[in-house]
Structure 1
Amino acid sequence: MSRIDRAGRVIAASPATVYGALLDRKSLEAWLPPEGMRGRVERWDPRPGGGFRMVLTYLDPTDSPGKTSAATDVVDVGFADLVPAERVVQRVVFEADDPSYAGTMTMTWHLAAAGDGTEVTVTATDVPPGIDRGDHEAGIASSLANLASYVEAAG
């Protein structure tokens, strides 16, 4: 059975606003990197069948060695499904020599109206075994907190 990691939160913005932040290159660079990292998008094609390549750099790699290099995680992300204001499904592949990070992880960002905001639930399936569950769920939660701050400040 494949491993599933989850995180979620309610964000004080409409589903359309949150969806827009999931599909805007500059927005993604600003909010997706979890605490302790920064990100740079190298390739961007926001359509089903398209995707992006992101380089995530650890601000202090001492306690968090990267998967791709000592200080970086590089991911190739494909957009498998895009449903405006409802769902973004991504296929994520880590660039890593270590086989414990191999394979394709699916990340589904589900958006549901919740009062004046949006409940955002992220479900990661087929998570590579080299990724620590606690660290991964904390990283997703950190990205969601960044997303909330980003869209709520813009609104």
Structure 2
Amino acid sequence: MSELFEDGDYYMGPPLSHDMVLRAEYSLGLRLPEGYVAALSIKNGGVLKRRCFPTEFATSWAVDHFEVRALLGVGGTWGIDSSSGPGSADLIAEWGYPEIGVIICDMPSGGHDVVMLDYSQSGPDGEPSVAYVDEDRIPRTVAGSFDEFLSRLILCSSPI
């Protein structure tokens, strides 16, 4: 997992602490998955090295994948719990995404699609799946867990 992020501090929040995680969970009203917190303990958000996710369905991006730009962290300007505009709750309200969980990735499309932790089946204290939401605003489960989501990301230069 140490090779998860590119160098640089774009999208990066302050160094992650246990208190920050607890505050984010309280403000969001849910428990964040351990794999997500573990990734953020390496770097609290940032541009991912592997950004393409193969799919078995067509997306507004391509017939066989979508691309993410960055993993969003906790706290700071880009944090999922931010109340200054780019936080998950504000993005859900602004773009009309389904209220199934938390937006965890910034996308190159600038709001037309999104990747979310989906708590609709697990409840706020359970292990969420990961959903892709395209322009039609229909959540499509792409991974059973955050760890599975990370493991299936590939370099965009790889054949899909």
- Give the TM-score band, short-chain normalised: 0.3 to 0.5
The structure with more strand, counted as a fraction of residues: 1
| TM-score relative to the length of structure 1 | 0.32
| TM-score relative to the length of structure 2 | 0.32
Relative CO higher for 1 or 2, CA cutoff 8 Å, sep ≥ 6?
Answer: 1
